[in-house]
Structure 1
Amino acid sequence: MEKSDPAVLLSYGLHLGHTKQKLHPKAKKYVYKIEKGIAIIDLFQSASFFDKAKEHLSELGKQGKIVLFVATKKSAKDTVRELCKENNIPYMTSKWVGGFLTNINEIFKNIKKMNQMREDRDSGVWDKLPKHERVALSKKLNRIASIYVGVEHLDKLPDALFIIDIKKESNALKEALQTGIETIAVVDTNVNPDDVNYPIPANDDAVLSVKYIAEQAVKAYMTNFTPQSEKVNEATASIADMKNEEKIEAETKKIKETPTKEKVIKKKKVQKK
């Protein structure tokens, strides 16, 4: 995987942190200097941490693990939503759904209900209902769909969260910590980076910075992505191959142990003597 270049990160504005007054004590280790009251992030550290995050995302993709991208802030949500839609990655860019990780069974009930409503609408079931009922159902469906857009096809908990701005997405981070789900996140100078498994020290406010980070993260995740279904098929094929090999080995052994006509004749001659 291509290494991050601090010069490239600089060109995208990843070095610009928050004001000195907003500097979190635990984020000081990532600050190169304070310039005109602004914390300047050490991009050599950013490059190193970004590479670790990308390598981990690549490994998650290779294993077919589910990564949920979370970005509801104005500067990030449009970019993240489009990237995720293009690559069939689950995302949450409107609003974090409370209990999404900690009360997942209830969440899945709502998603199942939403998908059933869509199926009923598309199959013509609603056409048999009075107009006022169809209108009411349509409003209800739109309301539910607006909440779960981006995650309507999830059928299990995500294996990891990719978060842009853990202060804005504090509820998502809190639930991830409670459930033990690992996090990869962009951490600016105003937050505690120690709460994140794979922190990326960088500017999480500028559109250009966020866009670059999100694009690189998605690229790393998708480059060697292998769906779980394919992994199951590979495992099944591997087991079948092993069984075939065992069968062939057993047949070979059986053939070797079966006395040939020549051996039988020779044995009879020895017995006659």
Structure 2
Amino acid sequence: MVCSLTCISASQLLTQDQTGRKALSPAGLRALTTQTTTATPDAVAEGAIPPTPKPPANSLIAKVSRPTQQQWSAIPKPDRDIATIPTEFNTFNRLQNRTRSLGSRVELRHDPDHLLKNPPDEASLEMLMANQAHMGHSTALWNPSNSRYIHGVREGIHIISLEQTAAELRRASRVVEEVAYYGGIILFVGTRPGQMPIVVRAAELAGGYHLFSKWTPGTITNRDQILGPMQLKIVDEMDQPVEGFDKHLLDRRPVVPDLVVCLNPLENWPMLRECAQENIPTIGVIDTNADPASVTYTIPANDDSLRTATVIAGVLGKAGQRGQARRLKDAALGEVTWRNPVEISKFLEIQAMIKHAEDEAARLNAEGAEQDRANKKIHGVMDAEELEAFKLLQDLERERRSKGGRRRGDE
């Protein structure tokens, strides 16, 4: 059998074998001997390699397959007249204007900074609850002094009574309004991340000051050293700068706030202790884990929520704005709601005496009454030598006071 196969030529392989199966063609034999995987046209035509089946029309391969260049050129292009484009555009605008009022319209869109931009005058119970003011801390962290502010317990967390919060917030806003009305300095403090725009906005409304960085210990108790380089200015009842107080500002000590509003008392207890030593009233947001005795006016609320801090600071800022508006309105009518400090009053008296003496001396010199003044002493009027001596004594006293203040600060 082997000998007969070796004598058969390749052209005679297209015969039927013993099993009746079709033998390989010469092209197929070449494809098998070269071991190639490329489907040549001859092999496909003669049936040695079956052609690649076409994917069905609804298959994913058929959907993502890109058409050929001939197919692209076969796509019919729309036969459109360019002159009709303006007419169609006008028709589209006319239909759009007719149907503009149809359908639903969103009147109020959600703005995360809405309460920061437009703070309310008063906070209702619904607003406080919506801004998470009632959420306290775990029952294991509570301070027993806050028992009068706690409404109950839910899932291991204390719930703050919002009725107490609203009442205390109204009282605190009244305090801020009156302090602003009498020309006091209000300081808003919030040092937690995210509280910077809150305290800045509240201070802007109330015409006060803000602090969003770490409190420097000794800013109030040792203000001669810490706040000494700070610039001061004297303003009138209309908040306009007043000239002529340069010498007085050299001797004056730095000012301290008349009221401090703290949004996170737990992190600012050194500041609260300094305020207590200097008898400065404070307003603080007290959570269930804080000590209400650390501040003068408590506002029981959630001190961890920025939304709660925004509502409380906004209400207090609006209260300060109302107080400032009342003060300026009365000042325009000639009613001043605040008094000058003792140091400024003394300085004004001394300056008035000096000016009176200078005016009298100038008047007598103009009238040529130098001989009369030498012969007859005018009561209550200083001559030029006495005026110079008085100014010299005043400069020496000012220098002595400044040296004494520096020694006390150094000690």
Do Structure 1 and Structure 2 share a fold, with TM-score over 0.5? yes
Which amino acid in structure 1 is aligned with residue 161 of structure 2? D
Which amino acid in structure 2 is aligned with residue 44 of structure 1? E
Q: Cα distance, 1:112 vs. partner? A: 4.0
- Inter-partner Cα distance in structure 2 for 1:103 and 1:216: 32
1:157 aligns with 2:276: no
Residue 185 of structure 2 is matched in structure 1 by 66
Contact 2:132 2:302 in 1 (8 A): yes
1:2-25: CA deviation from partner (whole Å, max 9, x where unpaired): 654222211111101111111111
- Inter-partner Cα distance in structure 2 for 1:45 and 1:37: 21
- Inter-partner Cα distance in structure 2 for 1:7 and 1:37: 23
- Inter-partner Cα distance in structure 2 for 1:183 and 1:213: 15
The structure that has the greater radius of gyration is: 2
1:156-199: CA deviation from partner (whole Å, max 9, x where unpaired): 11111000111011111111111110001111111111222110
SS at match of 1:102: coil
Structure showing greater relative contact order (alpha-carbon pairs closer than 8 Å, 6 or more residues apart)? 1
Which runs of structure 2 are paired with 1:74-113 in the superposition (5 Å)? Answer: 74-85=193-204, 88-112=207-231
Which of the numbers 260, 281, 300 marks the counterpart of 1:201? 300
1:215-258: CA deviation from partner (whole Å, max 9, x where unpaired): 1110011112137xx59x6349xxxxxxxxxxxxxxxxxxxxxx
SS at match of 2:180: helix
User: Which runs of 5 or more residues in structure 2 are unaligned?
Assistant: 1-119, 233-252, 338-411
* Compared CA separation, residues 69 and 3, structure 1 to 2 (3 A): closer
Contact 2:189 2:212 in 1 (8 A): yes
SS at match of 2:213: coil
1:79-108: CA deviation from partner (whole Å, max 9, x where unpaired): 212442465421111111211111122222
* Compared CA separation, residues 51 and 7, structure 1 to 2 (3 A): same
Residue 234 of structure 1 is matched in structure 2 by 335
Contact 1:99 1:175 in 2 (8 A): yes
Q: Cα distance, 1:64 vs. partner? A: 1.2
- Inter-partner Cα distance in structure 2 for 1:208 and 1:3: 15
Residue 143 of structure 2 is matched in structure 1 by 24
Contact 2:121 2:315 in 1 (8 A): no
Superposition TM-score, scaled by structure 2 size: 0.44
Residue 37 of structure 1 is matched in structure 2 by 156
Size of the aligned set, in residue pairs, is: 195
SS at match of 1:234: coil
1:210 aligns with 2:295: no
- Inter-partner Cα distance in structure 1 for 2:220 and 2:205: 24
- Inter-partner Cα distance in structure 2 for 1:2 and 1:209: 15
Contact 1:186 1:201 in 2 (8 A): yes
Which of the numbers 313, 322, 332 marks the counterpart of 1:223? 322
- Inter-partner Cα distance in structure 1 for 2:207 and 2:259: 16
SS at match of 1:111: coil
- Inter-partner Cα distance in structure 2 for 1:19 and 1:28: 13
* Compared CA separation, residues 105 and 66, structure 1 to 2 (3 A): same
- Inter-partner Cα distance in structure 2 for 1:51 and 1:83: 16
Superposition TM-score, scaled by structure 1 size: 0.65
- Inter-partner Cα distance in structure 2 for 1:224 and 1:235: 13
- Inter-partner Cα distance in structure 2 for 1:35 and 1:13: 14
- Inter-partner Cα distance in structure 2 for 1:11 and 1:184: 23
1:40-71: CA deviation from partner (whole Å, max 9, x where unpaired): 10001111111110111111111111111111
User: Which runs of 5 or more residues in structure 1 are unaligned?
Assistant: 114-153, 237-273
Contact 2:139 2:157 in 1 (8 A): yes
Q: Cα distance, 1:75 vs. partner? A: 3.5
More helix, by proportion: 1
Percent identity between the aligned chains? 29
Contact 2:151 2:161 in 1 (8 A): yes
* Compared CA separation, residues 112 and 45, structure 1 to 2 (3 A): same
- Inter-partner Cα distance in structure 2 for 1:220 and 1:86: 9
SS at match of 1:57: helix
